[in-house]
Chain A
């Protein structure tokens, strides 16, 4: 069974630009969550999508948005990039629901110049 795939693995952008990150979950998983990981703040929850609907949302500004397609693949978009958006963005998939482990991809390393 293929794992969670995130593309691209590395990305360099400049302030003010926008970026789209992609995540393909494990086959059969309908829940996709996004996290931002930085040395200072640790792992912060962005949002979760289940069956194409945003079901949970963290405390991030509206510049961070996402969507999920009918095949459960998900994209995350960040607009008007700031230096502080430099981070490792991780996607995790699960069956969705309590007591379900999350399966993570290897992330997209985003660097803002």
Chain B
């Protein structure tokens, strides 16, 4: 069963625009991770944010975590066509195994 659910399911934007994806989850977590998957490839780890952190940055990526709302967001600034991919959040449930549970993903298309 999915712990995290991404929203929206699909997002289409123009190059240069910002892309925001959201992830909601149901139970308390130890950490939340974001991954990217290009078509026909494996997942690539982007960012891990721990439950006691509120925001993390990596290049053009900004992740926020609101544990009171059980939600996270991934912001990609100044999107490029190469950012076209599916983006997944994965949660490590508190009190459970550390195996992350993945959502169904947001499909992002960036038009050149």
Contacts and interface: CB of A to CB of B under 8 A. Distances in A.
Interface stretch (B14-22, B37-45, B60-68, B70-78): B37-45
A90 B31 contact: no
Interface in B4-46: 30-31, 33, 35, 40-45
Interface residues of B, number: 24
Interface in A84-106: 90, 92, 97-106
B99 A33 contact: yes
Contacts, number: 52
A104 B2 contact: no
Interface in A63-113: 90, 92, 97-107
A104 B103 contact: no
B87 interface: no
A28 interface: no
A42 B48 CA distance: 20
22 contacts: A4-B42, A6-B42, A33-B99, A42-B2, A42-B102, A43-B43, A43-B102, A45-B99, A45-B101, A56-B99, A90-B43, A92-B43, A97-B98, A98-B30, A99-B31, A99-B92, A101-B33, A101-B48, A102-B43, A102-B45, A102-B100, A107-B42
